[in-house]
C-alpha cells in the first residue's frame, strides 16, 4: 500500500492540489471575475421580503381579495405634514389632491383616495392619501422611481411615501449600501487583525481572499437562482456576514497549520498535503456541521427561511471548497514565501514563546467544578430575558428613521387608529351568487357570530352597508343593479365572494388579537368557505409555522450535529457536551438580543432603534447560524486534544497541550469573526443589526467562557470518560 493511501484521502487531495496549483488558481480567478459581474446586481433582483406564509389561510384570503373583489396587489400611501397649515381642511385637501394630477396620468395608477381611517389625534398638520396601482409587486417596484418622481409636496408641506412598495424599495437601497459599508468597515480592520496574528503580509492577505471570493461566488450564483425563483431581499446581507466570517475563519486555521507544517516538512508539497490532512479534514467536518445547521431552516415553512438556508448552504460550501482548493493552491505557490514581508517581528517572538495558554489550562483544571458552575450560572442569567421576548413581523421598522418610508410609517401609526387601519379581513365564498337569498342568510348569520365575540368592536359587510335588514329585504334590495355596482365599487361583494371587516378591541400585533383570530377560525361559517386575512392574521400564520417547525428543527440540528461529532471524535460524551455548551451560548446570545432590541439597553450606543420586539425570524436564524459556527471552535480544539491524547494517553496533559496549540488561534479566529460580524451592527437594516449582535455575542461567549474555561474544566471532570466509545464503534 502506498504512503499516500496509508495517510488517507485528505493527504492525497493535498498532493493533487499542489500538482495542479496553477490551473486551480486560474480557474478560481475566472470564477471570481465571472460571478463578480452578477454579484453586485443581486439586491436589485430581490423584490420580496419572504415573510408571506404561502398557502396559509391569510395568504389564500389575500389572493381572493385581489382576484375576486378587485383589491390592488400593490399600493403606496402618501403622508403629508405641515407645521403651519390645517391639512384636514377642505381647501388643503383639495390642494393635496390637485398636486397629484401628474401622478394620475400614469397608466398604472388605478385609484387615488383620501385616507378616511379614524384618527387617534386631532392633530391637523397631518394628512394621508392612498394610491392604488394596477401592477404586481415586481412591476410596482420597477416603476417606483418614476412614481416617486411625480410626487411633489405643495407649498408649506412635506410629503413622505410609505406602503409595501416604498418600504421594499428602501430596503433594496439599504441592502446595497450595507454591502458596501460592511466591506469598507470589516475588511480593513480584519486585515489589521490578521497582520497582528500572523506577522506577515502574505499570510494575512490569503484569508481575506477566501472570504471575499466565498461571498462573491455565492451572490453570483444567487443571481441566476433569483431570476427563476423569488428570494428574500434580506439574504445578501446574511450571505456577506456569514461568508466573510466563515471564509476568513477557515482560511485562518489552514494558513496557521501550513506554517507549522513548513517547519516539520522538507518539501512544500508534503506541507500542503499534511495541512490538508489535518486542517482540511477539520474544516470538512466543521463545514458539514454548519451545513446541517443551515438545513435546519427548511423545517420552517417560510420563503425567507428557505432563502436564508440557500444562501447559508452555498456560502459555507464555497468556503469549505475554496479553503481546500484555492487556498491550498496559493499556499503551494507561495511555499516558504508565506513567511516573507514580516511585520511586528518582536510581537510574534513574544507570542511564540508565551506559555499563557498552558497556564490558563492548568489553572482552570485545578478548580473545574467551581468554574463550570460559575460560567453556567452567568450564561443562564443572560438567558433569562428570553422568557419576556416579544416577537413581531418587521415592516418599515427594519429601516432606520432616516429612510422616507420609515418616517411615513411612524407618522401613520402616531395619527391613525391601528385597529381600524389594519382590521381583520374575512373573505367568504358562497356556492352560488353572493347576491342570492341563501348567501345573504349565511353571510348575515356568520357576521352576527363574529359581532357577538367580546373581542370585536364593530363588523362591516355588504349586509351592514344596506342597513342590516332582514335577509329577505336585503336580497330584494340586491336585485337593483346600481346597488350591486356600488357595493362592488366599495369592494365588499362581487360574484360569489364577499368581505367582512371586523375591527378588534386590542392592538393588531397583540397576543389578544392573535388569540381572537384563532377563535374566529373555529367559528361555523355554514355553507360558506371563509378565509381570515389581514396584517394580524398574517402574523398569526407566520407564528404558527415557526411554532410547528421549531421543535423539529432544533431536534434535527442537535441530533445530526451530535452524530457528525461522534464520527469525528469517536466519543459519546464529547459531542453531547458540545451540544449542551452550544445551547448555553445560543441562549445567552439570544438573551442579549432581547435586552438590546426589545428593551433598548445600549441601543443609542449601537445606533439601534429599539422597536419593542424581536423580529419573528431571528430566533430561528440565530439558532441555526450560531449552532453551526460554534461547532468550528469545538472541532478545532477537540481535534488537537484528540491528536495529543492518541499520542500520549494522558487526558489532562492532552487538554493543556490542545488549548496551548489552539487557544491563541481560536481567540484570533473569534476576534476576526467579531470584527466582521461587528461591522454589520452599523448596517441600516434592523434584522441585519440584530443578527450581527447575536453572532457577535455568541462568538465572544463561545471563545471566552466556553472554549477557554468550560471545555477544559469539563475535560478534567470527565477524565477518561471523554474518550469512551461503544465497543462496536472502536
Q: Which among 288, 272, 319 has a CA at the least distance from the CA of 13?
A: 272
Question: For residue 693, is it within any domain?
Answer: no
Question: For residue 479, is it within any domain?
Answer: yes
Looking at residue 347, what is its pLDDT? 59
Q: Which among 558, 455, 442, 546 has a CA at the least distance from the CA of 500?
A: 442
Which positions ≥6 away from 470 have C-beta within 8 Å? Answer: none
Query: Residue 108 belongs to a domain with what CATH number?
Result: 3.30.70.1320
Reduced to 3 states (helix: H, G, I; strand: E, B; else coil), residue 40 is coil
What are the angstrom distances between the C-alpha of 408 and each of 65, 130, 262, 465, 612?
A: 25, 12, 61, 31, 19
d(Cα 336, Cα 295) in Å, to the nearest integer? 39
Please state, as a whole number, how many other Cβ atoms lie within 10 Å of the Cβ of residue 531: 23
Q: Which among 423, 367, 319, 447 has a CA at the least distance from the CA of 712?
A: 367
Contact in structure between 137 and 362 (CB atoms under 8 Å): no
Question: For residue 505, is it within any domain?
Answer: yes
Question: For residue 449, is it within any domain?
Answer: yes
d(Cα 419, Cα 431) in Å, to the nearest integer? 31
Contact in structure between 535 and 106 (CB atoms under 8 Å): no
What are the angstrom distances between the C-alpha of 398 and each of 242, 324, 602, 609, 703?
A: 20, 37, 18, 9, 30
Reduced to 3 states (helix: H, G, I; strand: E, B; else coil), residue 152 is coil
Query: What's the CA dihedral at 707, 711, 716, 717 to 10 degrees?
Result: 150
d(Cα 78, Cα 131) in Å, to the nearest integer? 8
Which positions ≥6 away from 281 have C-beta within 8 Å? Answer: 10
Contact in structure between 243 and 315 (CB atoms under 8 Å): yes
Q: Which three cell numbers stand for residue 344?
A: 511586528
Looking at 503, 533, 563, the residue that finishes a domain is 533
d(Cα 166, Cα 144) in Å, to the nearest integer? 7
Question: For residue 497, is it within any domain?
Answer: yes
Which positions ≥6 away from 709 have C-beta within 8 Å? Answer: 364, 371, 375
Contact in structure between 508 and 418 (CB atoms under 8 Å): yes
DSSP designation for 231:
-
Contact in structure between 630 and 246 (CB atoms under 8 Å): no
Contact in structure between 566 and 572 (CB atoms under 8 Å): yes
Q: Which among 524, 616, 576, 609 has a CA at the least distance from the CA of 711?
A: 576
Question: For residue 66, is it within any domain?
Answer: no
Question: For residue 699, is it within any domain?
Answer: no
The sign one gets for the Cα dihedral 412, 418, 422, 423 is negative
Domain region containing 511: 423-533
Looking at residue 394, what is its pLDDT? 76
First to last CA, the chain: 23
Looking at residue 4, what is its pLDDT? 58
Looking at 114, 139, 168, the residue that finishes a domain is 168
Q: Which three cell numbers stand for residue 282?
A: 477539520
Segments of the chain scoring below 70 in pLDDT: 1-6, 344-354, 632, 727-730
Q: Which among 617, 634, 624, 604 has a CA at the least distance from the CA of 690?
A: 617
Reduced to 3 states (helix: H, G, I; strand: E, B; else coil), residue 94 is helix
pTM over 0.75: yes
Looking at residue 360, what is its pLDDT? 83
Contact in structure between 635 and 565 (CB atoms under 8 Å): yes
Contact in structure between 392 and 611 (CB atoms under 8 Å): yes
Average model confidence (pLDDT) across the chain: 88
Query: What's the CA dihedral at 10, 11, 16, 19 to 10 degrees?
Result: 140
Provide the domain count of the chain.
Answer: 2
Query: Residue 460 belongs to a domain with what CATH number?
Result: 3.30.70
DSSP designation for 526:
T
Question: For residue 82, is it within any domain?
Answer: yes
Looking at 127, 142, 168, the residue that finishes a domain is 168
User: Which spans in 201-234 are helix H?
Assistant: 201-226
Amino acid at each position: 500500500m502506498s504512503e499516500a493511501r496509508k495517510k488517507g484521502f485528505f493527504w492525497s487531495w493535498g498532493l493533487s492540489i499542489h500538482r495542479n496549483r496553477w490551473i486551480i488558481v486560474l480557474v478560481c480567478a475566472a470564477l471570481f471575475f465571472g460571478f463578480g459581474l452578477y454579484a453586485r446586481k443581486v439586491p436589485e433582483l430581490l423584490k420580496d421580503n419572504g415573510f408571506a406564509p404561502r398557502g396559509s389561510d391569510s395568504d389564500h384570503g389575500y389572493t381572493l381579495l385581489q382576484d375576486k373583489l378587485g383589491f390592488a396587489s400593490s399600493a403606496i400611501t402618501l403622508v403629508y405634514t405641515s407645521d403651519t397649515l390645517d391639512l384636514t381642511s377642505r381647501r388643503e385637501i383639495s390642494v393635496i389632491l390637485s398636486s397629484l394630477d401628474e401622478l394620475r396620468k400614469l397608466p398604472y395608477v388605478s385609484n387615488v383616495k383620501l385616507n378616511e381611517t379614524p384618527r387617534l389625534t386631532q392633530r391637523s398638520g397631518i394628512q394621508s392619501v392612498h394610491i392604488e396601482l394596477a401592477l404586481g409587486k415586481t412591476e410596482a417596484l420597477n416603476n417606483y422611481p418614476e412614481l416617486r418622481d411625480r410626487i411633489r409636496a405643495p407649498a408649506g408641506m412635506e410629503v413622505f411615501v410609505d406602503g409595501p412598495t416604498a418600504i421594499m424599495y428602501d430596503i433594496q437601497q439599504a441592502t446595497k449600501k450595507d454591502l458596501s459599508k460592511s466591506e469598507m468597515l470589516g475588511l480593513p480592520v480584519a486585515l489589521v487583525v490578521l497582520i497582528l496574528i500572523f506577522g506577515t503580509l502574505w499570510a494575512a492577505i490569503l484569508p481575506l481572499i477566501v472570504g471575499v471570493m466565498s461571498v462573491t461566488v455565492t451572490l453570483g450564483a444567487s443571481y441566476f437562482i433569483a431570476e427563476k425563483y423569488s428570494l428574500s431581499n434580506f439574504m445578501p446581507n446574511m450571505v456577506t456576514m456569514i461568508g466573510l466570517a466563515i471564509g476568513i475563519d477557515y482560511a485562518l486555521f489552514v494558513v496557521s497549520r501550513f506554517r507549522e507544517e513548513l517547519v516539520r516538512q522538507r518539501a512544500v508539497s508534503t506541507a500542503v498535503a499534511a495541512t490538508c490532512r489535518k486542517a482540511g479534514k477539520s474544516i470538512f467536518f466543521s463545514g458539514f456541521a454548519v451545513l446541517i445547521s443551515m438545513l435546519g431552516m427548511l423545517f420552517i415553512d417560510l420563503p425567507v427561511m428557505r432563502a436564508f438556508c440557500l444562501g447559508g448552504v452555498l456560502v459555507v460550501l464555497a468556503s469549505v471548497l475554496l479553503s481546500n482548493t484555492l487556498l491550498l493552491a496559493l499556499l503551494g505557490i507561495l511555499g516558504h514565501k508565506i513567511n516573507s514581508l514580516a511585520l511586528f517581528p518582536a510581537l510574534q517572538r513574544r507570542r511564540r514563546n508565551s506559555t499563557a495558554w498552558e497556564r490558563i489550562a492548568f489553572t482552570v483544571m485545578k478548580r473545574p467544578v467551581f468554574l463550570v458552575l460559575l460560567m453556567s450560572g452567568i450564561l443562564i442569567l443572560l438567558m433569562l430575558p428570553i422568557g419576556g421576548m416579544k416577537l413581531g413581523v418587521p415592516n418599515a421598522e427594519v429601516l432606520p428613521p432616516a429612510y422616507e418610508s420609515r418616517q411615513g410609517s411612524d407618522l401613520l401609526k402616531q395619527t391613525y387608529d391601528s385597529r381600524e387601519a389594519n382590521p381583520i379581513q374575512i373573505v367568504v365564498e358562497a356556492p352560488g351568487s353572493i347576491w342570492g337569498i341563501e348567501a345573504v342568510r349565511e353571510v348575515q348569520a356568520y357576521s352576527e357570530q363574529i359581532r357577538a365575540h367580546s373581542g370585536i368592536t364593530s363588523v362591516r359587510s355588504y349586509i351592514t352597508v344596506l342597513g342590516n335588514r332582514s335577509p329577505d329585504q336585503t336580497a330584494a334590495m340586491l336585485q337593483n343593479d346600481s346597488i350591486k355596482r356600488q357595493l362592488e365599487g366599495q369592494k365588499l361583494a362581487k360574484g360569489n365572494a364577499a368581505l367582512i371587516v371586523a375591527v378588534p378591541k386590542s392592538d393588531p400585533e397583540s397576543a389578544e388579537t392573535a388569540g381572537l383570530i384563532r377563535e374566529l377560525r373555529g367559528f361555523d361559517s355554514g355553507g360558506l368557505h371563509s378565509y381570515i386575512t389581514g396584517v394580524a392574521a398574517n402574523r398569526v400564520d407566520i407564528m404558527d409555522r415557526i411554532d410547528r417547525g421549531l421543535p423539529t428543527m432544533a431536534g434535527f440540528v442537535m441530533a445530526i450535529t451530535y452524530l457528525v461529532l461522534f464520527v469525528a471524535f469517536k466519543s459519546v460524551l464529547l459531542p453531547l457536551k458540545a451540544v449542551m455548551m452550544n445551547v448555553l451560548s445560543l441562549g445567552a446570545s439570544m438573551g442579549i438580543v432581547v435586552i438590546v432590541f426589545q428593551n433598548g439597553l445600549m441601543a443609542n450606543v449601537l445606533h439601534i432603534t429599539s422597536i419593542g420586539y424581536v423580529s419573528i425570524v431571528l430566533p430561528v436564524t440565530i439558532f441555526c447560524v450560531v449552532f453551526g459556527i460554534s461547532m468550528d471552535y469545538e472541532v478545532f480544539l477537540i481535534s488537537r486534544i484528540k491528536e495529543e491524547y492518541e499520542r500520549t494517553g494522558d487526558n489532562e496533559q492532552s487538554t493543556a497541550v490542545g488549548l496551548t496549540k489552539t487557544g491563541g488561534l481560536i481567540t484570533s479566529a473569534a476576534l476576526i469573526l467579531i470584527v466582521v460580524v461587528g461591522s454589520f451592527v452599523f448596517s441600516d437594516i434592523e434584522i441585519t443589526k440584530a443578527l450581527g449582535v447575536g453572532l457577535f455575542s455568541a462568538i465572544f461567549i463561545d471563545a471566552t467562557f466556553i472554549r477557554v474555561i468550560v471545555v477544559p474544566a469539563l475535560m478534567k471532570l470527565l477524565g477518561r470518560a471523554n474518550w469512551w466509545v461503544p465497543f462496536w464503534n472502536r
